[in-house]
Structure 1
Amino acid sequence: MSITLTVDTTRYAALVRDLAKRTGRTVQKELKVAARGLCWELAKAMQPFGMDDKAKGQGESAIRRDLFGSGQKGLTSSTVRRFGIFKTLPDSIIANATEEESTTVQIFAKKNGEVYGTDKEHFMRNPSVGDLDAIHHSAFRDGRMSSVSAFDRTIGRWKFITRTVIPESKGVQILNMLVARVGFAKAGWATCARIIGDAANSTRDFPRWVKRHRDAPGEVEDRTDDPNQPTLTIVNNINYTRRVLSQQNMSIALKDAEYKLRARIQNAIDHPPKSS
């Protein structure tokens, strides 16, 4: 069963009625405008934070950092700022790695007798992209990507790599797949805005890198025709939504949407529609 995030517009009912009276438009129309604005605010509040190209770039950079870490190059480099969950090595080195009878894998031996290896549990000679995606998915907790915290271990002449070792070609594949997915969680709210409609382009404020995910699941329960309590319930059905939108940021998004609704009311007061 997927985890969904549901938000309804009940909290805005009084404000919407006030706005409708001042603009001369229907409560139903004003509520849909407010709900589309809320969709945008919720998407903005999700990781990567923001809706501009900078946010997209930050999301892509975060994926590279999560997968492969930062500040390290090659097999024997010791310059590390942050470890990732994978260690990529040339395909030829992976292909020639020797799995010992015990639980170890000998990956590379230097002329001075030092041996670089890992345990079989962390060695993937030919993983599928799905396998790597599952590892990446399981390492994401509480809105953050966990990281291997220890340096490679040295035991005698052996230096053990503590990350999951994969071929470089597979690293490229998983990176390309995840980078292409940036904005997918935000797109669940774009789907809601598109369903709400009531505008020539109901997702015009969403950037292309979010709108490209037209298959992102979202749904809307429209009860705007209820004369006593008109509401819209918007649902983001992407199963990791709660991990990239904290309760605190969701509260901020709700308040920002309310602030903009009040600003529209004030604008209607300052500039009332001309009577016909």
Structure 2
Amino acid sequence: MLVSRSLGALGTAVLAGVILAGCSTQANRAPVEDRGQSASSSSTVDVKSLPGAENAGKPGYYTIKPGDTLIKVGLEHGQSWKDIARWSNLDNPNVIEVGQVVRVVPPGRDMASSSSGGSGRTVAPVVVGGGTAATTAPVTSTPAAPSAPVAKGADDVNFIWPASGSLIAGFDEARNKGYDISGKAGDPVVAAADGRVVYAGAGLRGYGNLIILKHNNTYLTAYAHNQSLLVKEDQSVKKGQKIAEMGSTDADRVKLHFEVRRQGKPVDPSRYLPSR
């Protein structure tokens, strides 16, 4: 069980379910993000004694906050939670503590110039459509205005649409971190590009049954609210391969919530998907 401990006060508040599917073939339960907790709610432990404290504030490192899990940290830094555990030399990757510092950039990379680094970086909570308490904005059928196309680069990816349904909610940086796509229960969800499964489980509140694919050092895609997951962590997948079946887990209706993340930051999918 992964336990994210808020220095003596958070433990009883966060025993909910985050699934670390990669730890075994059977899903493991661990804490989910608790939006009601504050980092100031506990300060009784000397953070200087926590693992990695000597790296606090350095580029390429991140300080664990209340509600964090390695899955959440990985998604928000564009990395696999398993890689973060390995880079951070965690004695027990199933236990992290508030104030602990983990490495979120691979060893050997120029961390000073990496946009994914920065200990203690404040990242806005992940909020997706799905009828959770954190989602209060009404669903709109009109997507946000398309952004300018992304400049081509070494890590450029040619994405395809992950489902064939119509768009029911567009990208909104404050309220919806991706696209919501309609469909029927059991409709196929496909990989938007070649990649590797870095997470498959139901561990992030608001996402339901979730798959995260890593395509290269720059891009991740996320596929939420699925009825069933058809791939496992560390599995390689091909563009167009069926990876899940559409569902309504942790959502108010059947839909696919799809995110494109560039170095961990959610970006407007309209800049990457082909026009229909």
Q: Which TM-score band applies after superposition, normalised by the shorter structure? A: under 0.3
Which structure dedicates a bigger proportion of its chain to strand?
2
- TM-score, normalization: structure 2? 0.24
- TM-score, normalization: structure 1? 0.24
Bigger Rg, which one = 1
Which structure dedicates a bigger proportion of its chain to helix?
1
Greater length-normalized contact order (CA 8 Å, ≥ 6 residues apart): 1
